[in-house]
Structure 1
Amino acid sequence: MTVTEPVRVPAPTPQFAARARTVGGSPVRDILAVTARPEVINFAGGLPAPELFDADGIAAAYRTVLAGTPARALQYSTTEGEPALRAALAERTTTRGLPTTPDDLLVTTGSQQALSLLATALVEPGDTVLVESPCYLAALQAFALAGARVVAVPGDEHGIDPQALDDLVARERPKLLYTVPTFQNPTGRTLPAARRAAVAEVAARRGLWIVEDDPYGELRYAGTRVPWIAAHPGAEDRTVLLGSFSKVMAPGLRLGWLRAPAGLRRACAVAKQAADLHTPTVNQLAAARYLADNDLDAHVARVAAVYGTRRDAMLAGLPDALPDGSAWTRPDGGMFLWARLPDGHDTTALLPEVVRHDVAYVPGAPFYAGDPDRATLRLCFVTQTPDEITEGLRRLGNALRSPR
């Protein structure tokens, strides 16, 4: 008699967490993958111009660190960050109008990690988070992964409307407001000083955390600097200021930082211990060495001058490239310009035809927390030369005029 073994059906594997199933990837990253062909003039990325990196200065800083203190550079470090780097960052922040000590700062692996740490430390599933409209895309992802209910604050071409913010806070009782007030991603707009003071006042009166993200603020090529929200009276004990070397030194270093009140900073440090223990020691020491041996402000001024020329080239070409009735921002700094085509245009639907003309942009829809304006798009103008920008806009105009 032959005994047949029963057929064993493998049990299903457990499902992913709900947040991993419901939060999508970055459309910007998806577009970059599609447009990686060298012949494509890509206005979709948010990448600084690599030819402007001070590669020699950065390489020299690494050589000095690895030759002088190799054991320390290659060893574990404290979660809070290397003292030399925190001291240099505190000095730069104080010089720019916000008195800061090294103990006020937590070094992060890019400012994007700072967003994730803050979401972990502040946001419970179901909490309401307020954002700009439109908003930095990766911030929407970070808060969505934390289970937040994300609500957009009404505004205009200058940014958040403080009265609308006050009304929303009273009605929704949010945990925090996230904002990029200077050369915002994606619009390039800058929140005026009076509105910053009003936002600080609302936060103080209503009991609201403000997360002020400032990755682009040093890249100014027109106008005068506007003080941080964190520097306004009433905002001192409730504002987290985020900074980054990604746009002014090099994004591959993955170096950012957050300045926060002591209790929240400690909570973020605990979250960071669980995430990566600490930001790479050698990168921190090299950045500190670079700041000691070089004039970063002079380097940033050179970069900003080039970016200003590239912005001007894009502004000059837009009237012929976009349909009559289009509108766009005129940023005083940063990396991005925001455009809106006339009603009836859908920039997501138009993108495949645009890519067939070997040029690309990012459709505006993914940047909205609520109902999107599908006629909008983001253009990055810093990665191409003025001649390449002119050619790219010629291609874009041909694509938008092609029969569909």
Structure 2
Amino acid sequence: MQFAKRLQNVETSAIREIFKLLGTPGIISFAGGFPDAALFDREGLAEAARKAVLEQPAASLQYGPTEGYQPLREQITSRLHEQGAQVAPADVLVTTGSQQALDLLGKTLLSPGDKVLVEGPTFLATIQCFRLYGAEVISVPTDGDGVQVDALERLIAEHRPRLVYLIPTFGNPSGSLLPLARRRRVLELAAQHRVVVVEDNPYGELYFDELPPATLLALSATVPGSRDWLVYCGSFSKILSPGLRLGWMVAPAALLANAVMCKQFSDANSSMLAQVTASEYLQTGRLAATLTNVQQVYAERARLMMERLRAELGEALAFTPPRGGMFIWARLTGAGGRSGDAAAFVRRGIEQGVAVVPGLPFYATEPDPATFRMSYATVPDEKIIEGVQRLARAL
């Protein structure tokens, strides 16, 4: 059987491959990027689903508009207004998870040979998605504060990319938080070079102590011309439930129209049952308390993991403390003659009964072989303590 040539540009997720190794009883996993299912508001979601089916069967059980369930689009718009963004419901396309938004961007914007700039490191599935459409994906250097804007400007001028993809707020895998001045500069570059900038923001509401800087979407009102080149992707997966498979895209009208057309070819519309359920849930006002609980739990787990990493691995490990999100991005320093090879370290960790994700797959170009990702989101305190001890034995 012959398959499409585009499949030659991609491979299966390294994270999914690691999951295959996690069936051993007793293994502790810091590898996943899942929210903690124990924190889902099951009662609230169950009642919302009941109301969706029994009180709105025509809306929840029937085909719906490709653009999305209108009350939900209005609620998304309202939430974005609260974050300082000027958006109308007509600007919003509801998607089957924010991953579909990225796929729609690939379909509507990318042709074989086009160039895309991403953070190095960035979300693995983004690299795979854009490569599937034939793009050449190029990493932009980052530091503890996210993408380096001087390097971004240089690479935009050099490569004239079709788009730039960023996770400015608590990125996956880096956990970094882009400062306000850099955010503003990114928008200036978008307007100056007339290049599409995609802001992916699935983690922005998972802050620990302080609100993060305004989103690029909110700031775009203060940078003339930037809104014409900005796409914003959001998701309910990390703050409500990934099982709903609901995300959204905010984009300029012409791009949104083409994305709607391409979405019609894919699934006609995102699950109406999920959309009406989410809308009913948002009407209850329960999300605020649910989100506060998630923020507090993740913050405490992150603090504990950082404390134990410093105590157990010391100078052999370097990382920037996350101020939100779900991840710690770490680098083996090689101090004390220890190995700086993260791939070998990951293998030894699995032998010790603990799993993390090697950093190499998160780079489109110029990977750092000493890096790896850990998630604290789903791991209770006692497992964090034991898991870090096992990591120390893997050095």
Residue matched to 2:263: 272
- Paired letter, 2:344: A
Structure 1 position 38, deviation (Å): 4.4
Residue matched to 2:75: 88
Q: Counterparts of 1:96-245 in structure 2 under 5 Å?
A: 96-232=83-219, 233-234=223-224, 235-245=226-236
Structure 1 position 326, deviation (Å): 2.0
Aligned counterpart for 1:62 among listed residues 49, 55, 73? 49
Paired with 1:72 and 1:198, the residues of 2 have a C-alpha distance of 43
Task: Say which SS state the counterpart of residue 382 (structure 1) adopts.
Answer: coil
Q: CA contact under 8 A between 1:221 and 1:333: conserved in structure 2?
A: yes
Q: CA contact under 8 A between 1:159 and 1:189: conserved in structure 2?
A: yes
Q: CA contact under 8 A between 1:44 and 1:361: conserved in structure 2?
A: yes
Paired with 2:255 and 2:155, the residues of 1 have a C-alpha distance of 24
The answer to whether the aligner puts 1:292 opposite 2:287 as a matched pair is no
Paired with 1:33 and 1:58, the residues of 2 have a C-alpha distance of 30
Q: CA contact under 8 A between 1:323 and 1:341: conserved in structure 2?
A: no
Structure 1 position 353, deviation (Å): 1.9
- Paired letter, 2:97: G
- Paired letter, 2:315: D
Q: Counterparts of 1:310-389 in structure 2 under 5 Å?
A: 310-322=301-313, 324-343=315-334, 344-389=339-384
State the structure with more CA Rg. Answer: 1
Paired with 1:107 and 1:222, the residues of 2 have a C-alpha distance of 30
- Using the size of structure 2 for normalisation, the TM-score is 0.96
Structure 1 position 163, deviation (Å): 1.8
- Paired letter, 2:293: R
Structure 1 position 348, deviation (Å): 1.2
Aligned counterpart for 1:255 among listed residues 246, 251, 254? 246
Residue matched to 1:395: 390
Paired with 1:372 and 1:164, the residues of 2 have a C-alpha distance of 16
The answer to whether the aligner puts 1:44 opposite 2:31 as a matched pair is yes
Task: Say which SS state the counterpart of residue 227 (structure 2) adopts.
Answer: coil
Structure 1 position 351, deviation (Å): 2.0
Q: CA contact under 8 A between 1:80 and 1:269: conserved in structure 2?
A: yes
Task: State the percentage of identical aligned residues.
Answer: 44
Q: Counterparts of 1:21-32 in structure 2 under 5 Å?
A: 21-32=8-19
Task: Say which SS state the counterpart of residue 78 (structure 1) adopts.
Answer: coil
Structure 1 position 342, deviation (Å): 1.6
Structure 1 position 65, deviation (Å): 1.0
| Deviations 1:128-173 (CA, angstroms, capped at 9, x unpaired) | 1000011110100111101001111123221112222111111111
Paired with 1:331 and 1:374, the residues of 2 have a C-alpha distance of 21
Q: CA contact under 8 A between 1:321 and 1:398: conserved in structure 2?
A: no
Flag structure 2 segments of 5+ consecutive residues without an equivalent.
none
Task: Say which SS state the counterpart of residue 34 (structure 1) adopts.
Answer: coil
Q: CA contact under 8 A between 1:323 and 1:342: conserved in structure 2?
A: no
Paired with 1:295 and 1:145, the residues of 2 have a C-alpha distance of 39
Q: CA contact under 8 A between 1:320 and 1:397: conserved in structure 2?
A: no
- Paired letter, 2:299: G
Task: Say which SS state the counterpart of residue 315 (structure 2) adopts.
Answer: coil
Paired with 1:330 and 1:287, the residues of 2 have a C-alpha distance of 33
Q: CA contact under 8 A between 1:214 and 1:243: conserved in structure 2?
A: yes
Paired with 1:225 and 1:129, the residues of 2 have a C-alpha distance of 26
Residue matched to 1:33: 20
Flag structure 1 segments of 5+ consecutive residues without an equivalent.
1-12
Paired with 1:161 and 1:353, the residues of 2 have a C-alpha distance of 33
Runs of 4+ in 1 over 6 A off after TM superposition: none
- Between stretches 371-380 and 319-328, larger displacement belongs to 319-328
Paired with 1:59 and 1:225, the residues of 2 have a C-alpha distance of 31
| Structure (1/2) with the larger helix percentage | 2
Paired with 2:370 and 2:146, the residues of 1 have a C-alpha distance of 19
Paired with 1:28 and 1:254, the residues of 2 have a C-alpha distance of 20
Paired with 2:277 and 2:153, the residues of 1 have a C-alpha distance of 44
Paired with 1:385 and 1:281, the residues of 2 have a C-alpha distance of 34
- Paired letter, 1:309: E
Structure 1 position 314, deviation (Å): 0.2
